[in-house]
Structure 1
Amino acid sequence: MLDYTKTSPDADGCAARMSLDEVRAYMSDHYHEALSIDLLAQLAGLSPNYFGEAFKKATGRSVMDYLTGLRIGRAKQLIRETDLYMREIARSVGYSDEYYFSRKFKKEVGLSPSAFGRSARNRIAVLSASSIGYLLPLGIVPTAAPLDPKRTPYYHYYYQSEIRVHLESPDSGKDEDNIRSLTAAKPDAVIIQESCGAAMAEWLAASGIELIRVEAEDWRGQLWQIAKALGKTASADRWIRDYESSAAKARANIREAVGQDTFLTLHLSGDQLYLYVNRGIRDVLYRDLELAAIPKLRELCNEPLSIEELAAFDPDRLLLLVSPDAVTHLRWQSLQHDAGWLSLKAVQHGCVYQLQPSPWFEYSAVAVSRMLEETVLLLTGGNPMLGGTDDASRPQPESAPRSARRLPCGW
């Protein structure tokens, strides 16, 4: 932590000036004190007017709005985590007047402090689209989430009007835009499954928003961890139980349809074909459905594969993921006329199944459920709605668009 109690002279004998980042850090440490624009501008060695303009340009908020956000954020933490009286909370975050604090809190949060205490965790935001697939089984639609018609077509199609604030993807480099959107959304908690940028991490640390970090490795553990944090463990247990029941029925139906046929899962990206297994494919196809495959496919795998090596395996059935870009599309078109490809048993028997990125590149409770249903449809032609899942809690309607299709022989 920076030591703000001292200043050191620079080369000209003047007191060292703080950068804007250092001033923001100073505000985070001293939010409970009487801070003025004049004082903060003096720390930065700028005039109050110029400092105010520079601060707003850097943060998207005025100096006093930023300070209010720090104070109200800390107040939210204290309301959630302590039994302090409201006047004690007000004073601890820099407000001597409890009623003025209450008015500022309601303006920022949309609820009075007491109402917030009764309804905390009603508004949940997520930073990655896959997190949506953990909230829906719990009967929760996030108030803010990344949505894109191309990258997240399923959630965008069915939930774009229900998810009030649409965020940018975590890898878009638009942290500042997302911070502004989250500030407007006023979430009670944010679910974090992956690392976030420095600006977002700093804002979250200062906002007072509850952070729910997901650290479990498999989707069942992740669902249960989120459910426990939100008081929804009964819903998670029910979803997992229903999934297990559906998987058992699917396993029996598929075994009857395909017998001991061997499977291989592939990913075509650019000019390269890969022997491919991600977490969803591993869990659904090779663990829950117990499809016959080489041992390597029972764990995560992403190994380059030539047509000659594929021909040596010569599986009965192929499941193929094709990356959605122009270079890969051209390679896929040429591959379908390749003599080695056409000689494969699976191609000759019309047992090549092309899978689309959604849901097969996603890992969540909703995604694996969709993978299970689509696999049954692909391999048996039966109704993918297997029963055993409570329709009231099911996040997708029967008319959901199919993200997988079977290719005719020779494709």
Structure 2
Amino acid sequence: MSSTYSILVITSGKGSMLYSDRESHHLEKGMIMFVPAGTPTKIDCSPWAESDLQYYKLDLGVAEVKEDISDHSFTIIKAEQHEFLKEIKAQEAFPLIQLNYSPWSSCLEALEQILRQQVTGDWLEQWEVQLRFQEWFRALLRQSDPETDAPDDRARVQSSIRYIGDHYDQTITVDELAADIGLTRASYTRQFKRITGKLPLDYVNTVRLERSKQLLQLTDDRIHEIAQNVGFSSEYYFGRRFKQYAGISPGLYRRHHRQEVRVFAPYLEDFLLAVGIKPVLQCSHHSWGRQHYLGLDDVPEFDVSQMDAEFNLGNEPDFIMLDKGYHRWNLDRFEQVAPTFYVEQLGEDWRSILRSTADVLGKVDRVQDVIGAYEDKALEAKGRLTRYMRGQTVAFLRISASDITLYGDQQGYVGPVIYQDLGLTPHSRVQQWTRHERRISIGLEQLSQLDADHLLITFDTGDSSEPGDERELLDRDEWKRLPAVKNGNVYEVDFMSWMNYGVISHGKKIEDILRFMA
């Protein structure tokens, strides 16, 4: 129960909201719900959804409009908010209200900008966050005016989406769906994609394929029977669409949910261990070594830097998983050895990678507990760091014999963890120089401007001709003059655990930061 007015913006998945202990409201991507203060709510994720229910939650604090405000437009916006909230109070019998915002992409873009900038310590940027929110909120109120036609069209499309969920096993055409709610095919398709992010028939196939996964796990029905039960007339077409969607064939998906599998997943071992699977091999690199933080001391190594390396007798995998870096190591040559699954998501989206890993290997039941444990750990750490750091700035450097690399605050191995999950404050140069980039190379002149309160560093031995070459920077005057160096606030961290994605890797990052800074 929130003590303030709240707005929920559903960005993915499906679910339901039970409010006031008496009524339930369906939730799905594209919906915006206004929840008055003091309304008890419970949100559940649908077990049939293709992705977890995710949403932004905005808590509204109502400020008084002062007469001496010179910005007339700002005064109008504030007045509109007051009128809206006054009307809400008058509608005690309708505690939950659905709002509308179009286009959906603009809604998400505005919220993402607000989220990215809300941690800034610069007062001008803080003011810009407030203005951006006011503009977003004003557009939300105007588009939700009951006199406009758009909300009615949106409600009709949402009813069509619910129809698909109930009748996915039947023949469905876009023309029939559009005609049923009185829209043209073009208008229906446009609004459908705005709400769901998918074209209508792609959405229908997604519903069918998710249901087929459940039948593959829970029944012994033949593949062609499952195909027919979920609405596919051809087993061949079903198999092809299933592999495009899940990354593996229906038969392999079923086997992985019923028996243990020997997996080779170079630089994805973190995800295997997180769901309880020990890989048959662990990757290593002649310069970087192996991922010691994973504790796989009894697992044989496979050196990915040897471009022609082969599997030894007894170490052949049953299944191979590769991320987007497989070209670098020529690993697609093993497609003929075992069925191969390619991870499509970027490393920053490690939760989706973890879900994909669990899905194709039959460990879906473990995922939510793993993610929940990480988020609890991060939240507790964030609270401790807030008390100790009090706005002090942080930067992360990867140092080699030939380069100094500064990592950004939005992407990459470290930024999403230390600046977003833990709420540490990036140095202003981090934000300025790495905007929209995972990392950038900087010279000594730029290094001299990096007067962060704390520096996290790791050493990359990949370019070192002799042991210790990568540490020569520490003898430079430019390094010794840095405030963090003078104050003893430089912390060296393990290369492999910090230069990796995954829930175990990110957990190690949190432990390191707490040890150094809290």
Q: TM-score range by the shorter chain?
A: 0.5 to 0.7
The structure whose residues are more often strand, as a share, is 2
Contact 1:227 1:233 in 2 (8 A): yes
Ranges in structure 1 where 5+ consecutive residues have no aligned partner: 1-79, 85-115, 381-411
Q: Percent identity?
A: 20
Q: Does 1:370 align with 2:511?
A: no
The answer as to whether partners of 1:125 and 1:145 remain within 8 angstroms in 2 is no
- Map of 1:321 onto structure 2: 458
The residue that corresponds to 2:343 in the other structure is 214
Whichever residue aligns with residue 339 of structure 1, its letter is D
* Alignment of 1:264 onto 2:387: no
CA 83–347 in structure 1, closer or farther in 2 if over 3 Å, else same: closer
Q: Residues 122 and 356 from structure 1, CA distance in 2 versus in 1: closer, same or farther, beyond 3 angstroms?
A: same
Equivalent residue number for residue 192 of structure 1: 322
Q: Partner of 1:251 in structure 2? A: 382
1:256 offset after TM fit, Å? Answer: 1.2
Partner amino acid, structure 2, of 1:145: Q
| Structure 2 equivalent of residue 227 of structure 1 | 358
Matched, 1:274 2:405: yes
Task: Identify the range of structure 1 (212-221 vs 239-248) with the bigger mean alpha-carbon deviation.
Answer: 212-221
Query: Residue type matched to 1:342 in 2?
Result: K
Q: Return closer, same or farther for 1:314/1:117 CA change in 2, 3 Å cut-off.
A: closer
Count of aligned residue pairs for this structure pair:
260
Scaled by the length of structure 2, the TM-score of the pair is 0.45
Q: Please tell me whether residue 151 in structure 1 is matched to residue 151 in structure 2.
A: no
Separation in structure 1 between the aligned mates of residue 331 and residue 457 of structure 2, nearest angstrom: 36
Higher relative contact order (CA closer than 8 Å, sequence separation 6+): 1
Q: Deviations over 1:238-280 (max 9, x none)?
A: 1111101110111111121111111111122224323234622
In terms of fraction of residues, the more helix-rich structure is 1
Q: Displacement of 1:324 after TM fit?
A: 2.2
Matched, 1:292 2:425: yes
Equivalent residue for 2:448, pick from 289, 298, 311: 311
Question: Distance between the aligned counterparts of 1:172 and 1:188, measured in 2?
Answer: 22
User: Aligned partners of 1:235 and 1:123: how far apart in 2?
Assistant: 16
RMSD of aligned residue pairs (Cα, Å): 3.3
Aligned to 2:270: 133
Are positions 1:173 and 2:307 aligned together? Answer: yes
**Is the 1:271–1:328 contact (alpha carbons within 8 Å) kept by the matching residues of 2?**
no
Q: 1:159 to 1:250 in 2, by over 3 A?
A: same
Q: Which runs of 5+ in 2 are unaligned?
A: 1-219, 225-253
Which runs of structure 2 are paired with 1:8-407 in the superposition (5 Å)? 121-128=259-266, 130-147=267-284, 151-154=289-292, 158-161=295-298, 163=299, 165-169=300-304, 171-175=305-309, 177-178=310-311, 180-181=312-313, 184-194=314-324, 195=326, 201=332, 203-205=334-336, 207=337, 209-217=338-346, 218-277=349-408, 279-293=412-426, 294=428, 295-296=431-432, 300-324=437-461, 326=464, 330=468, 333-380=471-518
Letter in 1 for 2:487: H
8 Å CA contact retained: 1:216, 1:225: no
8 Å CA contact 1:146–1:167 kept in 2: the answer is yes
The one-character-per-residue Cα deviations of 1:57-90 (angstroms, maximum 9, x if unpaired) are xxxxxxxxxxxxxxxxxxxxxxx99669xxxxxx
> 1:247–1:125: structure 2 CA closer, same or farther, 3 Å change rule?
same
Report the CA distance between 1:153 and its aligned residue. 4.3
User: How far is the alpha carbon of 1:213 from its aligned partner?
Assistant: 2.1
Query: Aligned partners of 2:475, 2:381: CA distance in 1, in Å?
Result: 34
Q: Contact 1:191/1:214 (CA < 8 Å) preserved in 2?
A: yes
For residues 165-200 of structure 1, the C-alpha deviation after alignment (integer angstroms, 9 at most, x for no partner) is: 54332x32124x22x54xx34533222224359986
Q: Which amino acid aligns with 1:172?
A: Q
